Amino acid sequence: MSTDIERLLYSERQYLRSFDFTAEQSYHLEMRRRLNLALHLWGIVYGLELLQGEVVQGAPVQCYLSEGMAIDAYGREIIVPAKHLLSEDLDNNRITGAGTCSVWIRYTRDPATPPEAAYQRCDLKEQYTRWRESFEIKLISVGSSPYPAGANPLPSDPDPFGDLPDDPSKFPWWIHLGTISVDASLQVSTPKNEDRFYIGTRTQRIEAPRDATTEFNILGADATHPNSPLKPLTSIQVRDNLFLEQNLIAGTDFAVDLQKIQPPPNPVPPSVFPNPTGNVKIASDVFLQGNLYTHCDLAHPDLWLNLDQCIRERIKNSVPEVHIGTATVPFLPKANRDSSGAISASANVTIAPKLAQIDDSKSNITTSIAGIIGKSLEHGETGVVGAVKSRIITSAAASTETFEILTSGSLSLNSDGTGTYNALLTCTIGPAQAIGSQPQQYDVPIDSVLISYVVVLSPKQ
């Protein structure tokens, strides 16, 4: 086909030859194929399904290709006008054993209808007056290419405004239909319609022309309204699944200032914000009859939560988690005391958080004295001190000493992989008194201290 578009111009008594009529045919053929490619994307238009059933009444069930149509990437129409038995293609494709075969189809043309007797030219061979347009079926192993070795498995789509070749032997284009199974006796079975490309639409605008200016009542509260959801006038119906590869904007488009999005997006590389595809902008209200599900639980990224659960999870993971409790720290004689003359004892408490992610730098622990059990160093008796104070006064035989009780706490993540934290509660009392001689030890008149703690775990933002 030529890239020069020429349409025949006739006049009275014009002398016409065969190439003039060929040019007339070529013009209409080229323009129709250009229209096929300009408005559509190549693929199956209708039918062409691999099925199993009765082809001839009363005959055994057989696998066949149903009637249908496809358009290849050169704009050529592939027409299957009647059911086609797939068993007829085994010999042509040299299928001699059992296996699973991919089924492909392409456009073909063959010269047909020789001239009537006495109207043939003696100096020309293979004279025909028609092109018979048909199809060819190719059966090959699954995963193999229908194109010759070394050729691109899927040639680049031709330019609809470039040169569109007509010869399918030099420029074939195969369309995949599915797979079939062939047994050892060369019986065809198990047809599967998979990995099929259907025709697409090349367009930028879609408009329903009928009553396109009539106001549409989206809520449908007024059943008598001339254009309601139950009786739409301005609508475009999509019967099957709709897959959108890029973005969706509903209503009048509007700008979103990236600097005014709070909190600021913090995508993890190589991700970016906004993502180039998969975004939705809606200019007005959204009415949802079902549930809205999303990934919301940071601890379980594969878990889908509906909107109500998501809000609850967001609140849970944005409010600090507080753990309150008490722990008893017993005091026993020590072999040593610190430089201030005090001795220390501690207790460990395991904290099991529910937050998905915790910011350790902002988490803290606070301790205080909740109770004290005293003991007599002279007689070994114990008893509860009446008043809870941070300073305890005790009397000795020769003098009176003042000593302090200090509490503190530290928080650390356990290394066992459980996600729990260890709260180390420490109590320091001094000065400690020396008791015994061999070996010398140090003790205080406190049997145990009940420490109250408050652990605040901050969520990671």
User: 30 and 153: one domain?
Assistant: yes
Which domain range does residue 137 map to? 18-201
Confidence of residue 211 (pLDDT cuts 50, 70, 90): low
Confidence of residue 382 (pLDDT cuts 50, 70, 90): very low
Using alpha carbons only, give the angle 195, 201, 206 rounded to the nearest 5 degrees. 140
User: 339 and 305: one domain?
Assistant: no
How many CA atoms within 13 Å lie on the side-chain side of 103? 31
Asked if residues 351 and 363 have their Cβ atoms less than 8 Å apart, the reply is: no
Quote the pLDDT of residue 6: 83
Chain centroid, CA 337 distance in Å: 63
Residue ending a domain, among 263, 285, 316, is: 316
User: 308 and 325: one domain?
Assistant: no
Distance CA 428, CA 329 (A): 10
- pTM exceeding 0.85: no
Quote the pLDDT of residue 392: 36
User: 382 and 260: one domain?
Assistant: no
Quote the pLDDT of residue 1: 54
Of 120 and 391, which is predicted with more confidence?
120
Residue 27, domain member (yes or no): yes
Is the per-residue pLDDT at 449 higher than 90?
Answer: yes
User: 142 and 27: one domain?
Assistant: yes
Residue 41, domain member (yes or no): yes
User: 290 and 341: one domain?
Assistant: no
User: 65 and 193: one domain?
Assistant: yes
Residue 47, domain member (yes or no): yes
Distance CA 241, CA 219 (A): 24
User: 280 and 392: one domain?
Assistant: no
Cα separations in angstroms, 361 against 2, 118, 197, 280, 411: 73, 102, 55, 37, 11
Residue 273, domain member (yes or no): yes
Residue ending a domain, among 316, 338, 361, is: 316
**pLDDT tens-digit profile of 177-200?**
999 999 999 999 999 999 999 998
Residue 236, domain member (yes or no): no
Asked if residues 260 and 249 have their Cβ atoms less than 8 Å apart, the reply is: no
Mean pLDDT for all residues in the chain: 83
Residue 45, domain member (yes or no): yes
Residue 426, domain member (yes or no): yes
**pLDDT tens-digit profile of 107-147?**
999 988 777 776 676 667 778 888 899 999 999 999 888 98
Residue 301, domain member (yes or no): yes
Give the SS3 label for residue 407: strand
User: 27 and 160: one domain?
Assistant: yes
Distance CA 91, CA 95 (A): 6
Asked if residues 79 and 105 have their Cβ atoms less than 8 Å apart, the reply is: no
User: 62 and 124: one domain?
Assistant: yes
User: 158 and 280: one domain?
Assistant: no
